[in-house]
Amino acid sequence: MAIRDIVIFPAPLLRLKAKPVQVFDKTLQTLIDDMFATMRDAPGVGLAAPQIGESLRVVVVEYTDDEREDAKTKKYVLVNPEIVQKSEETVSDVEACLSVPGLAGEVERHESVTVRAKNRFGKPIRLKASGWLARIFQHEIDHLDGVLYIDRATQVFQPSAEEMEQIKD
């Protein structure tokens, strides 16, 4: 696993619609492993392939839904993901992004979503998510369409170092 450089806004690659994955080979497996290593090193909770310079529809997420130290971490790999269902209910919360360092913004997202994708081996999966996980999925899938959270934010601000620690990327 290699830690790759994170592409920083305003790099044009972040504004492109990523290409669907066609082949589930060793190269894809290496990309996914590198994405997890890069995300952990940053650190963040989600990463889309365009954020490390690969215009492919791949997202990785590593998420703990409990604040306890012994809480189990869940890992997700979404290849060619699409949101197929969204709740009518929306929630506004603060987001940040590894590709937009030093800023945060208030973003309204759907409270729950259903995502259809393939796993890292090409097997179809369907995930229902709510709360923070739904927000992460929406944020990362936006990256695949060239959309950044700053495009959706009602306000963007520069948080203090202490505030930034509170914000989950």
- Give dist(CA 43, CA 40) in Å, integer: 5
Peptide bond into 43 cis (omega under 30): yes
140 has catalytic annotation: yes
* Of 95, 111, 140, 163, catalytic: 140
| Cross-strand bridge partners of residue 63 | 74
- Give dist(CA 44, CA 38) in Å, integer: 9
What is the radius of gyration, based on Cα positions, of the chain? 15
* Catalytic site positions: 140
